[in-house]
Amino acid sequence: MTDTPPSPAPAPASSSAPERAGFAARLAGGESRALALAATACLLVLSLFFLAFPAVDIAASRLFHDPAGGFVLSQAPFLQRLRELGPFLVKLIAVLCVAILLWPFVVAPLSRRLPLRAPVFLLSTLILGPGLLVNAVLKNNWGRPRPNAVDLFGGDAPYVRVWQMTNHCDTNCSFVSGEASSSLWLVTLAFLAPPGWRRAILAVVLPLALVLSANRVAFGGHFLSDTLISWCLTLLVILGVQYLLWRAPGAEARAARWRNGYDRAADTVRARAVGLRQRLTASLRAFAAMMR
């Protein structure tokens, strides 16, 4: 079998298929280009909206703010435990992916039935989206203060609009939400699932992403705009990596070369490890014999 998992979204049957199918139908069917256009449009519309109407951002945070007690829901034990669910799921999936990739180097060859691109897709989108773009680039450089740090909600910093770079926050700032990004990243499971499973996975993942993101707004950790823009950026990263791994010209040939090279490297490392283990065992036995 080839190293090709179930396609994340059905490819058009011909160049005229997009013309025959309406955009809404393509979007509902999970067609990648339609999803990318929709995510880009949402990113632009949301950015312009919150730039033009910052009061909406403030009003959304004010819903959860008590002038006397601050963002009191941040102290709710149930919501605190709920917040831990998202990072736990992300770490669990990441650890499983790393284990799959390392398995043939230390244990046995990886079955060709298990597509190598699946764990690569999951790990690369996690690193590039929530890791690099959201946390390393935006959160650490844009300087937007979190709601619980702005003067409108008892803090010292001023309210800063989306996409405005400031020095009011040094690192791990409000724009954009890392936890909203990582929770939305869970939709990658639907991209890899067989078609019959995708709706069921999305029926679980999307409400979970919504709850975890709303939780951050309720805690005063992020503005509403931080979470929504984070979703759009993360989805665009996912779609971009999906295109490179499955849709770009020559993707299948590159995947075959990568798989062959990966299997050869794993076989070499595993064989050397076996030889090293045998030599070490022999040395230990010889040493034990000398001590008798």
149 is a domain residue: yes
Residue ranges for the chain with pLDDT beneath 70: 1-21, 27-28, 277-278, 286-289, 291-292
pLDDT attached to residue 13: 38
189 is a domain residue: yes
- Does residue 232 sit in helix, strand or coil? helix
pLDDT digits (tens, 9 = 90+) for 190-246: 999 998 999 999 999 999 999 999 999 999 999 999 999 999 999 999 999 999 999
pLDDT attached to residue 128: 98
Q: Which residues is 66 bridged to in the sheet? A: 70
> DSSP labels for 63-81?
TT-BTTTBSGGGG-HHHHH
76 is a domain residue: yes
**Residue burial 241-264, b: 16+ Cβ < 10 Å; e: rest:** bbeebbeeeeeeeebeeebeebee
Dihedral (CA of 15, 19, 20, 24) sign:
positive
Q: Rounded to an integer, what is the distance from CA 268 to the centroid of its chain?
A: 32
pLDDT attached to residue 22: 80
3 is a domain residue: no
Q: Rounded to an integer, what is the distance from CA 120 to the centroid of its chain?
A: 12
Longest dimension (CA), the chain: 85
Contact 283, 289 (CB under 8 A): no
pLDDT attached to residue 23: 72
pLDDT attached to residue 111: 77
* Helix residue ranges, H only, the chain: 17-20, 23-28, 32-52, 54-62, 77-106, 117-126, 178-185, 188-192, 195-218, 224-242, 251-290
172 is a domain residue: yes
pLDDT attached to residue 9: 43
Number of domains in the chain: 1
Tell whether omega for the bond before 217 is within 30 degrees of 0, i.e. cis. no
263 is a domain residue: no
81 is a domain residue: yes
Range of 117's domain?
Answer: 22-247
Separation between Cα atoms, residue 241 and residue 234, nearest integer Å: 11
pLDDT attached to residue 292: 64
State the pTM of this model. 0.87
pLDDT attached to residue 115: 83
1 is a domain residue: no
pLDDT attached to residue 291: 65
pLDDT attached to residue 287: 64
